[in-house]
C-alpha cells in the first residue's frame, strides 16, 4: 500500500524542514511572476510543490519495475518495486510452490534487493483478499489523495510559521518583505532619497496621512514595473526611513511623518506605565475577582478576563474613566474595547473621534502595543468629564472614525471625593462639584491643584513605595469619608491610581492577605490600625 508522506499530519507538523530546494522554487515563482506574493500564497505554492515532488518521485520509482501485489505472478529475473518498503527495487531469483492449509495453492517468490538488504520471500499468485491486490494500476495507486488546497486548510498555519522563519534567514536568496508580502530585492523599483524627500514634503503640506497609491502619483514613479511591485518598493523604502510612520491598519497602509505625531502617541505617558508587581491571585476572593473583571483595567493579565462571548459583532462599548487616563487624555484598550478598533501590526493607527454632543472632529491615536488610545484630553476638559464617568465609544461606517460620547444627565452639584495633597500626603475630602453625566459612584474622584498631585505622584514613584504601603496611607483617608469607616474596593483602586499606576489585582491581593483588612461584604472593607 502506497502511503504518501505529504498526506499525513506528521509530515507537515513535525517532519517538514524548509530547504534550499524549496526556496529555489519560491524564488523562481516570484521571479517569473515579477509581483509580490503574500506569505499565504507562498505557503500554498510550497505545499503544492512538495505534493507534486513526492508524486513525481513515486511515479519514477514505480516505472523501475512492476509494483508488488500478492495476487500477481512473477518469473525469475523480473524486477519488482515494493511501495510498502519505501519503493525498494528487487529482482526475482527463484519461484517455488507455497503451502498453507488456509489458502488455495499459491507461489513463493524469492527476491534480492538492490539496496543490499539481502534476500526475502513474498507470496505470489495468492487468491485471497489483500489490500495490496485491491490497489489496481498505477493511476489508481495515485488516486484518492487530499488536494493541496485541503492540506493547506488543515496544516497551513504550521507551515506558515516555519516558512516565515526560513525566509527571514534566507538572506542569500534576496527575499524581502513588507508586512505579509514577500518579493525579491533585485526586482524592486529604485526609490532614491529624492523620492523620499518629495514624499516628506507632500505629507508636510497635507498634514494628514497618505496611502502609498496617493504618494505614488505624487512621486511619478517609473511605469515599467507592475503596480503591486511599485507599491511594494515604495512601502519598503518608506519603512526603512525613520522620518515616516505607517499609521494605517493591516488592511490599509497610511504613511505619515513621525515628527508630526504627538509625543503621547510615540511614547506611552508615564502615568499609564505600570511596573508589574509580584502577587498571588490564589487568595483573592471571588467577590473581588468579579470586581476586577468589572473594572477591566488594561494592565490586568488578559487571561484573567478570558474570552468575551459575542453573539453578534461589537459596534459600541462603554468604559469607566480612570484617573491615569483622565489626566493624559486617553482611553484604555481592554480585551473587550480592542475589538472596536482596527487591528494593525504597526505601532500606531491614526483615527478620528467625533464628539457625540457637538459633532466636532478630533484626531486620535490607537497605540496598539501599549493598549491605549490618545486624543481625548481636550474633550474631557471641555465637557467637564470626571473620573468615574461612563464613556461610550461607537463605530461608524468609516473603520477609522469613532463617535465618543458620555451619558448625559441634568447638571447638578454632587458630593464627590476630591483628592488633595496636604503636607506631602494624599488626602481626600467630600466637596460639591458640578456633574452632568452618569458615573460609577465608587470610582468617582475629583482633584484639587493637579500640579501638587503630580509632584506627589513623582515622589511616590521615585521612593518605590510598595502597594501595601500606599494602601496603608490611602485607606484611612478614604475611610474617614464614611460614617461606617468602610471603603469600597473599587474606590480604593481608583484612589491609589491617583499616585501610582496599578491594576486591581495587586491591590485586591493585599486586601485578602493582610490581617489589617477585613471584608464587610458587597465590596466594602475596613482597616484596623
* Grid coordinates belonging to 375: 486624543
CATH number for the domain formed by residue range(s) 70-135: 2.40.10
Residue-level pLDDT at 308: 60
- Can you tell me which residue has the cell 498505477? 138
Kindly list the distances between the CA atom of residue 336 and the CA atoms of 179, 210, 308, 329, in Å, as whole numbers in the listed order. 26, 30, 7, 20
Kindly list the distances between the CA atom of residue 527 and the CA atoms of 468, 472, 489, in Å, as whole numbers in the listed order. 12, 9, 12
Instruction: State the fold for domain 413-527.
Output: Arc Repressor Mutant, subunit A (1.10.10)
DSSP character for 14? I
Q: Alpha-carbon distance 497 to 505, whole Å?
A: 13
517-522: list long-range contacts, CB under 8 Å, 24+ apart: 517/475, 519/285, 519/287, 520/484, 520/486
Do 188-260 and 413-527 come out as alike in CATH topology? yes
Q: In what order do the strands lie in the sheet with 37-38?
A: 37-38, 181-184, 175-178
Kindly list the distances between the CA atom of residue 18 and the CA atoms of 11, 169, 277, 384, 497, in Å, as whole numbers in the listed order. 12, 11, 42, 60, 51
Query: Could you write out the three-class secondary structure of 283-316?
Result: CCCHHHHHHHHHHCCCCCCHHHHCCCCCCCCCCE
* Grid coordinates belonging to 283: 487568595
First to last CA, the chain: 80
CB neighbour class for 68 (10 Å; exposed up to 12, middle 13-18, buried from 19): buried
Q: Dihedral through CA 515, CA 521, CA 527, CA 528, nearest 10?
A: -70
Rg over alpha carbons for the chain, rounded to the nearest Å, is 35
CATH number for the domain formed by residue range(s) 188-260: 1.10.10.10
pLDDT under 70: residue ranges of the chain: 1-3, 130-144, 171, 307-313
The domain segmentation of the chain, as residue ranges, is 5-61+145-182, 70-135, 188-260, 282-409, 413-527
Assess contact for 125 and 72: CB atoms under 8 A.
Answer: yes
Q: Alpha-carbon distance 89 to 29, whole Å?
A: 35
Residue-level pLDDT at 295: 95
CATH number for the domain formed by residue range(s) 282-409: 2.40.330.10
> How crowded is residue 129: how many other Cβ atoms within 10 Å of its Cβ?
9
Kindly list the distances between the CA atom of residue 127 and the CA atoms of 67, 81, 105, 152, 441, in Å, as whole numbers in the listed order. 17, 20, 8, 41, 87
Amino acid at each position: 500500500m502506497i502511503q504518501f508522506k505529504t498526506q499525513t499530519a506528521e509530515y507537515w507538523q513535525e517532519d517538514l524542514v524548509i530547504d534550499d530546494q524549496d526556496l529555489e522554487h519560491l524564488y523562481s515563482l516570484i521571479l517569473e511572476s515579477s509581483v509580490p506574493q503574500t506569505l499565504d500564497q507562498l505557503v500554498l505554492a510550497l505545499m503544492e510543490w512538495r505534493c507534486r515532488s513526492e508524486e513525481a518521485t513515486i511515479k519514477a520509482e514505480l516505472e523501475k519495475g512492476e509494483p508488488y501485489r500478492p495476487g500477481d505472478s512473477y518469473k525469475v529475473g523480473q524486477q519488482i518495486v515494493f511501495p510498502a518498503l519505501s519503493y525498494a527495487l528487487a529482482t526475482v531469483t527463484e519461484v517455488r510452490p507455497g503451502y498453507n492449509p488456509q489458502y488455495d495453492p499459491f507461489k513463493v517468490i524469492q527476491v534480492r534487493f538492490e539496496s543490499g538488504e539481502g534476500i526475502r520471500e513474498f507470496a505470489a499468485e495468492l487468491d485471497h483478499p489483500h489490500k495490496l491486490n485491491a490497489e489496481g494500476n498505477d493511476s489508481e495507486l495515485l488516486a484518492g489523495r487530499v488536494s493541496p488546497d485541503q492540506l493547506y486548510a488543515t496544516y497551513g498555519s504550521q507551515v506558515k510559521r516555519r516558512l516565515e522563519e526560513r525566509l527571514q534567514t534566507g538572506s542569500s536568496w534576496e527575499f524581502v518583505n513588507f508586512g505579509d508580502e514577500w518579493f525579491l530585492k533585485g526586482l524592486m523599483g529604485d526609490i532614491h532619497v529624492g523620492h523620499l524627500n518629495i514624499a516628506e514634503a507632500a505629507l508636510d503640506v497635507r498634514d494628514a496621512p497618505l496611502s502609498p497609491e496617493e504618494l505614488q502619483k505624487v512621486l511619478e514613479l517609473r511605469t515599467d514595473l507592475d503596480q503591486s511591485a511599485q507599491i511594494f518598493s515604495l512601502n519598503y523604502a518608506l519603512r526603512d526611513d525613520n522620518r515616516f510612520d505607517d499609521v494605517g491598519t493591516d488592511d490599509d497602509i497610511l504613511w505619515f511623518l513621525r515628527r508630526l505625531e504627538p509625543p503621547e502617541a510615540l511614547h506611552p505617558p508615564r502615568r499609564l506605565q505600570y511596573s508589574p508587581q509580584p502577587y498571588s491571585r490564589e487568595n483573592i476572593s471571588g467577590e473581588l475577582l468579579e470586581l476586577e473583571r468589572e473594572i477591566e483595567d488594561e494592565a490586568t493579565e488578559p487571561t484573567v478576563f478570558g474570552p468575551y462571548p459575542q453573539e453578534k459583532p461589537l459596534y459600541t462599548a462603554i468604559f469607566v474613566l480612570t484617573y491615569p487616563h483622565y489626566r493624559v487624555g486617553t482611553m484604555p484598550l481592554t480585551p473587550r474595547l480592542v475589538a472596536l478598533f482596527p487591528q494593525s501590526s504597526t505601532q500606531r493607527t491614526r483615527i478620528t473621534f467625533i464628539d457625540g454632543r457637538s459633532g466636532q472632529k478630533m484626531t486620535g491615536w490607537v497605540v496598539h502595543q501599549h493598549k491605549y488610545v490618545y486624543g481625548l484630553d481636550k474633550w474631557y476638559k471641555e465637557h467637564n468629564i470626571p473620573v468615574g464617568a461612563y464613556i461610550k465609544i461607537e463605530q461608524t461606517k468609516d473603520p477609522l472614525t469613532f463617535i465618543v460620547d458620555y451619558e448625559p444627565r441634568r447638571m447638578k452639584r454632587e458630593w464627590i471625593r476630591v483628592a488633595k495633597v496636604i503636607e506631602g500626603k494624599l488626602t481626600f475630602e467630600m466637596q460639591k462639584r458640578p456633574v452632568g453625566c452618569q458615573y460609577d459612584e465608587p470610582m468617582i474622584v475629583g482633584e484639587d491643584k493637579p500640579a501638587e498631585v503630580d509632584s506627589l505622584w513623582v515622589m511616590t514613584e521615585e521612593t518605590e513605595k510598595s502597594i501595601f504601603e500606599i494602601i496603608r496611607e490611602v485607606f484611612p483617608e478614604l475611610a474617614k469619608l464614611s460614617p461606617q469607616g468602610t471603603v469600597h474596593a473599587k474606590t480604593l483602586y481608583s484612589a491609589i491610581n491617583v499616585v501610582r499606576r496599578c491594576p486591581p489585582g495587586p491591590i485586591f491581593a493585599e486586601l485578602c492577605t493582610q490581617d489589617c483588612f477585613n471584608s464587610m461584604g458587597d465590596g466594602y472593607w475596613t482597616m484596623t490600625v
